[in-house]
Amino acid sequence: MDIQTSEGTVLREQLTFLLELQKIDEKLEDSEQERADLPEKLRAIKEDVGRIERILEQERQQLAEARSYKAAREAEIAEDQELLAKAKHKMSAVRSSKEYLAVQREFEANRRHTSEREDEIGKLVEAIRQFEQSIKTHEEALAAMKSDVAAEEQATARRIEEIEGAVSAERGEREELAGRLRRDVLSKYNNIRRRRKGVAVVPLGEGGVCRGCNMRLPPQLYNIIQRAATIEQCPNCHRIVYFEAAEDLGEATEATD
Ligand SMILES: [Zn+2]
């Protein structure tokens, strides 16, 4: 085994570690994304709760107004009754037909006024019935939503715990792998990941095309990469590129595809 071959073996192993590291980083990213998205569903349900609470508040206010309006109309009718009693009393003391007509008019006006109030009360009774029904429906919906919120909060808390467990295991795996990587290779990888905000190690496609940016690599560089004796980067996007057919990378590359 000459120096070149053993160096090549080391680099191929490093590349395998890099690909594993990349897989773990992708999992970590997914976990963190899911963790960040979790409160969103809860926020949407809580918004619905707030909306129903506002509707209920408005309906309760309308109900109170309708009830007080109805009470006022009822008081007016009671007043009419009193006036009517007084008019009837007057009637017994009537002497002339002129007086009689005046009291008759009073009766008539009183009757009309009472009848109008009764119509209003009828409408208010219907409005009150509708408000009460709507309030009941909204109260039931609200209770169901609040129990949804409670269930969702529990589910979210459970899922967060699961994710945190997975993340901590993945971080442990990452640390172990990072320890097996050469310092320069690791820092190159970390820099690319930071800069590209994503995949840092990509296989070459047919004819030496970088699968990160789709640029065709110069043939000379392609030849070097095929020998898999060095860790090379795409001159365009700077991602680490590797030749997929390298037999001892077989397993790792299949899994990343
Ligand atoms: Zn590229």
Distance 197 CA to ligand 1 centre (A): 14
Distance (Å) of CA 10 to CA 34, 103, 161, 181, 192: 36, 119, 39, 10, 21
Distance 155 CA to ligand 1 centre (A): 42
Task: Give the number of residues written for the chain.
Answer: 257
Rounded to an integer, what distance in angstroms lies between the CA atom of residue 92 and that of residue 75?
A: 26
- At 252 the pLDDT is 45
- At 246 the pLDDT is 46
- At 250 the pLDDT is 45
Q: What kind of fold does domain 29-180 have according to CATH? A: Helix Hairpins (1.10.287)
- At 40 the pLDDT is 86
- At 94 the pLDDT is 84
Domain residue limits, the chain: 29-180, 183-256
- At 245 the pLDDT is 65
Rounded to an integer, what distance in angstroms lies between the CA atom of residue 65 and that of residue 62?
A: 5
Distance 201 CA to ligand 1 centre (A): 10
Letter for the amino acid at 62? Q
- At 184 the pLDDT is 93
Distance 191 CA to ligand 1 centre (A): 15
- At 149 the pLDDT is 93
pLDDT along the chain (257 residues), means of 10: 58 91 95 90 90 97 98 96 90 87 92 96 98 98 94 93 96 96 94 88 91 93 85 93 66 44
